[in-house]
Structure formats: structure tokens, C-alpha cells
């Protein structure tokens, strides 16, 4: 197993904007690292440069302490699991797993031992004689991983391995990959644009945008302390709400009334003009369901509810608000960058499923003001 160090990696196709634009990232031995970002951000290109399928324009790729820029893929001893698993249809599961060992002319008895060990770990021992066509998607995935295990690769590389599966199987496979990676402790780099995968699988997540790293952090830190509007808007579903605000002393004036800032936040926004306040849907609650003691740590406001969506364990309410043109334009641009539905000037609030709020009626909401983020609308930087 090995660490993977990237130093100022650039990939330039033709003379356009670099697909990867100066990425420096250290992945520790045994770490599970996720590369995530909207379509075209360069995540697959970066993965392909690690494995050696793509030349590196400049920078250093160091695997297990050795610079590998000029090493062929087969000499890097990495194992890539593709979306379609690249299994040979005419070979049995046994032979598919054994394939890299046969290539390396490994003696038969050793092949047998390694394949059976891998099949045990992957719970494939009952299927060793089957052909891939007779396996479920999840089992095929495991065969592909079995190949990587027998090779005793330095690292696993996954490029959106679950994107062809239906939602249920995707969930199962996600859990399975997480379990296996922990059990095997193999350094893993996993590309996805699915934020559930990003948040649940990785020890750390690297968020990319236009070929550059925005933030590398644990899933929790990304969620709670996004460094900028891009990361804040990308991580979380439904997405964080961004509301316009002006600042007066330690008070933010928002479309939902004043938000009192603590000393640290107030100092960070002092002297600013127009700002964007970031509030996750779950920072809100139906005020009638919040006890008095808790109410004091936040603010309450009245607003007209447009639409509600009841999901069983919670419900969403959509609350339109007014915003200046400048903010509308900024939100539209951000939506494009995030490759997401337009961030409209309505807040999505997630409240308890027992709430009795009604569409088209006014309701009182509570907002946990301790958790709000404040962003510079121009640079996108999280000021808090």
C-alpha cells in the first residue's frame, strides 16, 4: 500500500483552459479520498493521471515515495475499477479474478490460494464458476474488486463505479465498498459527482471546481465549515439557502428579519455592504414546535409559505423572499457553476413532519442563528 502525493499537477489539453490547474493533494497510506465536483471539473482527468492513463503536463505525481510521472500504468501497481467493471464475459468469476495473476505468470497453487482468499473476503466463493452475465450488478462489482485485491495493488482507484446502478443497488454497493475498504485498509481514490457517496464513503473529500481544489476536508467539516459559496452550495441536499443581507453593527438585516451575530462573526463582517447569508434548511423549525428556552438562542419570524412537501420523517416548506437584482444574478451564476437547478429566491426550510403549517398561509418559523454563515457575494469567501 502507498501514499499518493500530487504536487502542482497541471493537465492541459490543447490550448484551452487547463482541465487540471495546479492541484496539490496528499493522500495518506490507507486513506479513502473522494474527488467530487460538477461535470467537467477535472476529477476523472486527475484520476487518470494517477493511474497513468493520461500524461501529466507539469507537476509531480509521487506514489509510495517514488515519482511516477514517466512510469507506464502497469508499472504503477494501482488497480482501477471502472463503471462497467471491465470483466471478461467468457471467463468464470474465478478466472476473471485470477486474470492479473495469470498475466504475471503466477504459479497455479498460488493463484488458487489468492483467488479463494479474495473470494472469501468478497463473499463470492459460491459464485466462482459462474460467468459475469449470471451475476447481479453488485456481484460484478465485487469481482472487479477481487481482481484488485489479488494483485495486492498499492491503491484502488474508482471512477464513478456505481453510476450505472439503480438507486437501491447503489446504496447497497456504497455500504459494501465502505466496509471492504475499511477491512482491507487500502489507499483509495474515488471519483463521483454524487454527494451522498462523497459524504458517506470518504475519510476526506476533495471538492474540485474548474480544475482547482476548493477545499479538502472531512465530510463533517465540509458540511459545517465550507470555505466558500461554491462548496457550501455543492454539499448538502436540499442545498444551503443564500439570502441577501446588510449589516448594521452586530446585526444582519435579512429578508426574514434581523439576525444577531456573535462577536467573532460580527468582527468578520464589520464594514461590509451587501452580503449573502448561508442557512441550511435544517437550521429552521416551525416556531410552534420549539420550546421557549431554545427560542432565545435564535430568532423567530413570520412568512408566507408557498409550497410544502411532506416526506414522512420531515417536511420542506418553500418561502419566497425579495432580493435585489445583484443577488439574483449572483445566484443564477452560482447555479450554473454548480451544475444545479437554479437557486431561486425562495428559502427551503426543513421542519418537523408533525408541523401544521399550510400552503398559502403565514406561519411562524424559528431560525438557529448560531449556525448561519456569511459570504462575500463577489469573492464567494466564507467570512465566518
Contacting residue, 4, 19, 143, 275, with ligand ATP by CB under 6 A: 19
Which lies closer to ligand ATP via its Cβ, residue 22 or residue 40? 40
What is the size of the binding site for ligand ATP (CB under 6 A)?
11
Dist CA 76 CA 51 (whole Å):
7
> What are the distances in angstroms from CA 130 to CA 49, 219, 287?
34, 38, 59
Nearest distance, CB of residue 39 and ligand ATP, angstroms: 3
Contacting residue, 6, 27, 31, 45, with ligand ATP by CB under 6 A: 45
Contacting residue, 25, 33, 43, 119, with ligand ATP by CB under 6 A: 43
> What are the distances in angstroms from CA 186 to CA 36, 123, 209?
20, 18, 27
Dist CA 303 CA 284 (whole Å):
12
**For the purposes of burial, counting CB atoms within 10 Å of the CB of 275, is it exposed (0-12), middle (13-18) or buried (19 or more)?**
buried
Nearest distance, CB of residue 338 and ligand ATP, angstroms: 13
Which lies closer to ligand ATP via its Cβ, residue 46 or residue 177? 46
Dist CA 24 CA 98 (whole Å):
35
The sign one gets for the Cα dihedral 57, 76, 206, 165 is positive
Contacting residue, 15, 39, 292, 360, with ligand ATP by CB under 6 A: 39
Beta bridge partners of 208: 213
Which lies closer to ligand ATP via its Cβ, residue 42 or residue 244? 42
Look up residue 381 and give its DSSP letter: B
Which lies closer to ligand ATP via its Cβ, residue 39 or residue 354? 39
Q: Omega before 238 cis (within 30°)?
A: yes
Could you give phi then psi for residue 95, rounded to 5 degrees? -70, -30
| Span from 36-44, 64-72, 224-232, 368-376 in contact with ligand ATP (CB under 6 A) | 36-44
Nearest distance, CB of residue 295 and ligand ATP, angstroms: 44
Residues numbered 184 to 243 that lie near ligand ATP (CB under 6 A) are 193
| Span from 43-51, 56-64, 286-294, 349-357 in contact with ligand ATP (CB under 6 A) | 43-51
Closest alpha carbon to 83 in 40, 141, 124: 141
Contacting residue, 40, 59, 171, 258, with ligand ATP by CB under 6 A: 40
Contacting residue, 4, 34, 41, 317, with ligand ATP by CB under 6 A: 41
44 belongs to the binding site for ligand ATP (CB under 6 A)? yes
Nearest distance, CB of residue 37 and ligand ATP, angstroms: 6
Nearest distance, CB of residue 26 and ligand ATP, angstroms: 20
Nearest distance, CB of residue 48 and ligand ATP, angstroms: 8
Residue given cell 471512477 in the structure block: 159
Dist CA 284 CA 309 (whole Å):
15
Nearest distance, CB of residue 83 and ligand ATP, angstroms: 10
| Span from 42-50, 85-93, 118-126, 135-143 in contact with ligand ATP (CB under 6 A) | 42-50
The sign one gets for the Cα dihedral 65, 69, 71, 72 is positive
Contacting residue, 9, 21, 27, 42, with ligand ATP by CB under 6 A: 42
User: What percentage of the chain's residues is helix, strand, coil (to nearest 5)?
Assistant: 35, 30, 35
The footprint of ligand ATP (CB under 6 A) covers 13, 19, 37, 39-45, 193
Amino acid at each position: 500500500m502507498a501514499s499518493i502525493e500530487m504536487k502542482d499537477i497541471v493537465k492541459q489539453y490543447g490550448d484551452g483552459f487547463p482541465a487540471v490547474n495546479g492541484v496539490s493533494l496528499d493522500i495518506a497510506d490507507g486513506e479513502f479520498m473522494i474527488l467530487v465536483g460538477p461535470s467537467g471539473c477535472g476529477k476523472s482527468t486527475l484520476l487518470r493521471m494517477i493511474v497513468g492513463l493520461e500524461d501529466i503536463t507539469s507537476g509531480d505525481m509521487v506514489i509510495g515515495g517514488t515519482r511516477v510521472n514517466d512510469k507506464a500504468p502497469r508499472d504503477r501497481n494501482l488497480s482501477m475499477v471502472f463503471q462497467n467493471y471491465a470483466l471478461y464475459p467468457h471467463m468464470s468469476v474465478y478466472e476473471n479474478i485470477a486474470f492479473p495473476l495469470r498475466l504475471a505468470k503466477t504459479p497455479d497453487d498460488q493463484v488458487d490460494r489468492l483467488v479463494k482468499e479474495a473470494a472469501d473476503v468478497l463473499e463470492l466463493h459460491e459464485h466462482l464458476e459462474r460467468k459475469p452475465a449470471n451475476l447481479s450488478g453488485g456481484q460484478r462489482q465485487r469481482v472487479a474488486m477481487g481482481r484488485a485485491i489479488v494483485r495486492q495493488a498499492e491503491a484502488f482507484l474508482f471512477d464513478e463505479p456505481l453510476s450505472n446502478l439503480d438507486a437501491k443497488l447503489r446504496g447497497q454497493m456504497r455500504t459494501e465498498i465502505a466496509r471492504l475498504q475499511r477491512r482491507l485498509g487500502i489507499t483509495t481514490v474515488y471519483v463521483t459527482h454524487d454527494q451522498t457517496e462523497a459524504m458517506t464513503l470518504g475519510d476526506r473529500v476533495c471538492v474540485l471546481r474548474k480544475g482547482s481544489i476548493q477545499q479538502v476536508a472531512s465530510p463533517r467539516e465540509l458540511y459545517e465549515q465550507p470555505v466558500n459559496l461554491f462548496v457550501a452550495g455543492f454539499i448538502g441536499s436540499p442545498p444551503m439557502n443564500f439570502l441577501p443581507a446588510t449589516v448594521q453593527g452586530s446585526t444582519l438585516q435579512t429578508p426574514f428579519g434581523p439576525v444577531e451575530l456573535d462577536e467573532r462573526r460580527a468582527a468578520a463582517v464589520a464594514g461590509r455592504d451587501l452580503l449573502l447569508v448561508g442557512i441550511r434548511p435544517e437550521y429552521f423549525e416551525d416556531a410552534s414546535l420549539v420550546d421557549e428556552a431554545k427560542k432565545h438562542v435564535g430568532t423567530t419570524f413570520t412568512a408566507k409559505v408557498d409550497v410544502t412537501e411532506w416526506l414522512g420523517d420531515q417536511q420542506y416548506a418553500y418561502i419566497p423572499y425579495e432580493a435585489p437584482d445583484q443577488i439574483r444574478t449572483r445566484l443564477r451564476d452560482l447555479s450554473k457553476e454548480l451544475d444545479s437547478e437554479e437557486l431561486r429566491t425562495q428559502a427551503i426550510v426543513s421542519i418537523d413532519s408533525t408541523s401544521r403549517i399550510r400552503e398559502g398561509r403565514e406561519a411562524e418559523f424559528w431560525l438557529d442563528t448560531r449556525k448561519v454563515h456569511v459570504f462575500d457575494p463577489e469573492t464567494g469567501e466564507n467570512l465566518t
